[in-house]
Each structure stands twice: as structure tokens, then as C-alpha cells.
Amino acid sequence: MKSHPSQEQLIDYLHRELAPDEDAALLLHLEGCASCNQRYQDEASLSESLRSFARASERELPAGVRASIWSVVESSERTPTWPVRLRNWLRPVVAIPVAATFVVAALAGYESNLHRGGPTIDAAYYLDDHAALTSAVPFNEGTIVPTALFSTENADGTQ
Amino acid sequence: MARSSAASLLAALLTGATAAPAPPAADLLRDAMAADQRVSYVGEVQVLRIGPQRSYAAIYRVEHRAPDMTRRWYLAPQDLYGDSVIKRGSTTYSIDVKREQVVVSHDEDADQEIAERGNFGIMMANYNVVYAPDENLDGRPVHVVLLNNKYTGQTTMRLHIDSATHLVLERQQYGSNGSPITQMHIEQIRYTGSIPAEVFAIPHGLRQVDGAQRGAESTDVAHVISTAGFLALVPRYLPEGFSSTAGDVASINGVPTLHLIYSDGIRTVSLFQNEKDAAVDLSHYRAIATKVANHPAHYVEEGPTTLLAWADGNRHFALVGDLTLTELEKIGASVLP
């Protein structure tokens, strides 16, 4: 991360709402930037203060009310409606890792089919070899210009 | 009398003024195939290869001394101006004056003549050879020969053959939809037996580097497959008239690669395969995604030539040919187990 994070990014980082790569980049930035680290500490202490205040001001509800609320919560957790499930899936904290997983899987699939990190053979070799070895076909011109002349590279691989 | 006949033949060769009677079309064709081996000439060649998206053109001066010495001196495209290619027997020297280097490559073509004879037989099996009306090309009388595909009826090749020397002076090849895909034309041709050997000398002072190493091509395809070092797969489908004609095994970047050639006598398809997980590097080309059966694949077009690449596990394939993408995909699907 080259620029300083915004306040919204710091808050998202604090609540672990950033995508993994953003999260990692921001962590690295905080480790090297004293001013942003101070902003983060301020934000963290503010959150903690608010949480403490909420706990301190918490009031006990009557037992019957609490029981009925939990009953509704538990039933909705057991069978969430499909809009709720869809909304849950679309939450950034879920959707981004899922999307990232799909992207990684797609790339892995492509790699497994065409590029798995092994040796490669330049397509120019195949095109040249086809042209050269079909010269026995009657009236076949073969390659009109050898790749050795068209290539931007020297034959020894240098530019 | 003999001297007079020789003089008139020489005069005919040099001026092209007299039209020779046409031999049977197939005989003329066979003679035209071998014309380079007995006729020496200089001229200017224009070659055009037309693809669906891009086309390529080149113009070069040619000096050919029969039977097997040729120099091409490029005039166009502009980037190649002054570069040349000298072929002496089975060795080709690509002379790059800008980089001050000569790329030397050797073609293992020991059975080239056998291959040519075989291909001529395949061509005769798949094409009807017919005459079109004689014409004049740059002042020289020429026989015009059409090769019509026996299965589709389409004209696949049109040749303008010098009626005196039987050298092909102009050639057009057509794609499966009838549009031209290749055109070659020799202009300012002059037949001569006095091209000095120095013309084919390699210039001094240039760095010599080895070109790509190729395998020894053989028409014994079964033997080639047996030397691949892995269980080779072959297509169960080929377009009508195509059959296996040759092959080779080469080590490319240390990867044993089998190359099988299929031809109908004019059109050719190459199938490359390896089982060392060596993918085709398409990074220098504009690759387009497609599928071979259900396998992700990519293809690139170089003029009328298409390269289709795909993989099945560790086995990587590439099909190269002047066929349509649909035809290549169909062949590719039939290669898969």
C-alpha cells in the first residue's frame, strides 16, 4: 500500500472486513507508518470505549421478553429465508473470499490445462516446423519469411 | 539441324516467344514439381498469404541455380529490406544484416524425393487435374492448370506453368470457402545457366548461430511413432482425402515432441504432441479461447495458418494447418481418448 489508508479503511481493518490482500497490505503499512498506526490505535481505543459504555449502560430485560426474543432468533437461524441467505452471501466479508476462491480456482484450472509451470514450447517453433516439413508437399511455398528474420530476438535469445 | 533445334529451344527459353504443345495435365504437373531441379533462373517473387484476420506479403529477388542453390534477397516488408536467405542443399542460412548474424538451420530431408513422390500420388488420388485456356504471363506463354478437389468439386489450386520450361510462374491456392489464401507470382523472370557460385556465398564478418533443431523427417510414420518414447495418440477423424504422410520426433527444450503430418496432396495439417506437460507458449501471439471437445483450448492465426493448442492432463497438443478452425477442432476432438 503506497498511500495512507482512509479512515473507512482503518475502521474496516479494525472490524476485519477487508479482503485478505487489502488486510495484509494495510497491516504492512501500519507496521511502517507511525502516524497511521497512531490513527489506528485511536480508532481502536474509541471502539473499545464505545463497547465499554454499551456494556456499562446495559439493562437486564425481563426474563419473559428475553426468552421470546431468543426463540425468534433461534428459529430464524435454523431456517433463514432465501433473501436473508443471499444477503449473507453478498456481505463483503463472505463474498470477497468466495470470489477470490473462484478466481484462484479458474486460474488454477487454466494453468492445469495450458501452463502448469513446466517447460513451454514457443508456438513459433510449431508454425515454423509445420512450414518446413510440409515443403515436400507439391507447390508448397513453406514459410515465406523465416522466423529468424522476423523475430525481435537475436537467435541467442538476446534482444 | 541439331544445332538449329538447340538454338531455337534456347531462344524459346530466353524469350518465351513460342508456345509448346501441352502434354497431359498430370504429366505437366509432375514435371512442374521438379522444374527447380533442372532450371536456373533469376526473377522477382511476390508472395501473399491471406488470413481471416491478417495477411502477410513479401517481395524478394530470387536467384536459383539448379538443382539446389537458391538465394532470396528481400525487398519487402520494409523491416526485412536487405536481409536474405541462402539455401544450399539441405542447409539454410538466414542472413540478418541489421543484427549482423546468420542463422544456420539444417533440414534432414534425406527422403525428400520419396516424400514428394508420395505426396504427388496422394494429390492425384484427391484432385482432378484439368487445363484451363492457355494464357500469357508477362509476355511468356503459360499453361493454366486447375486442381479440383474430387470430394467437394472446388478448385483448390490454380497454376500458371511456363509452357517452355514447365516452371510455375504463378500459383493461387483457395480455402475451403473458395477465397484465395495464398498467391505467388514470379516477375521479370530470366532463365540463365550462368549464375556465379559467389551469389550463394555466405557474407564474411557475421556472427553464425544455430537455428532451431528439427527432427529427421521420415515417411515411415509407424516407425516415427514407435520412437516417440510415449504412447502417441492419432486422430480418428481427418477431412476427406487426408492421410498420414510423414513425421518426426524432436527434442524441444528437452521435451520429446512427436510431429505427425497429414495431407491430401495440397493441404497439410501438423499434429504435435508431448506428454511432459510442456504447454504451447502463445504469449507472443493474440490467442483466442475456444474448446476442443470439452477441453479449454486456444488458437492463433498467422495469415491463413491456424494453430490450435489444448491439453489433456500432462499431454499437450497443437494442430497447425491451413484448414478452418472448425475442421481443426473436429480433428482435435478425435485425437482425445
Q: Which residues pair with B91 in a beta bridge?
A: B88, B106
pLDDT band at residue B290, thresholds of 50, 70 and 90? very high
Q: Is any Cβ of chain A less than 8 angstroms from the Cβ of B96?
A: yes
Question: Helix, strand, or coil here: B241?
Answer: coil
Cross-chain residue pair B182–A141, CB shorter than 8 Å: yes
CB B323 within 8 A of CB B69: no
A126 vs B307: CB contact, 8 Å cut-off? yes
**Phi-psi group of A127: left, alpha or beta (phi > 0 → left; psi -120 to 50 → alpha; rest → beta):** alpha
Nearest CA in chain B to A152: B99
CA distance linking residue B91 with residue B108, whole number of Å: 9
A157 shares contact with chain B (CB less than 8 Å): no
Q: Search chain B and give the residue with CA nearest A158.
A: B99
Tell me the pLDDT band of B295, cut-offs 50, 70 and 90: very high
The pLDDT value given to residue A89: 60
For the cut 60, the answer to whether the pLDDT of residue B233 exceeds it is: yes
CB pairs under 8 A between A and B: 167
Neighboring chain A residues of B94 at a CB cutoff of 8 Å: 146, 148-149
Please name the residue ranges forming H helices in chain B.
Answer: 2-15, 25-33, 112-126, 221-226, 325-335
* CB-based contact, B276 to chain A, within 8 Å: yes
Among candidates A118, A128, A130 on the partner chain, residue whose Cβ is nearest the Cβ of B277:
A118
pLDDT of residue A106: 47
Distance CA B304, CA B325 (A): 10
Q: Does residue B152 sit in helix, strand or coil?
A: coil
Residue B194 has pLDDT above 80, yes or no: yes
Amino acid code (one letter) for B113: E
* pLDDT tens-place string over residues B220-229: 899 999 999 9
Three-state DSSP class for residue B70: strand
Long-range contacts of A116-119 (CB under 8 A, 24+ apart): A116/B277, A116/B279, A118/B276, A118/B277, A118/B278, A118/B279, A119/B253, A119/B254, A119/B255, A119/B276, A119/B277, A119/B278
Identify the pLDDT of residue A61.
Answer: 57
Closest CA to B156 of B122, B190, B188, B186: B122
In this prediction, what percent of chain B has a pLDDT beyond 90?
A: 67
**pLDDT < 50: residue spans in chain A:** 104-114, 154-156, 159
Q: Residue A79: what pLDDT?
A: 54
At B186 the pLDDT is 96
Q: Kindly provide the ipTM of the predicted complex, given to two decimals.
A: 0.82
Domains of chain B, each with CATH number or no CATH: 2-210 (2.50.20.10), 221-335 (3.30.200.100)
- Contact flag B270-A155 (C-beta cutoff 8 Å): no
Q: How many CA atoms lie within 13 A of B31 on its CB side?
A: 17
> pLDDT for B138-192, tens place per residue?
999 999 999 999 999 999 999 999 999 999 999 999 998 889 999 999 999 999 9
Q: What pLDDT is attached to residue B231?
A: 93
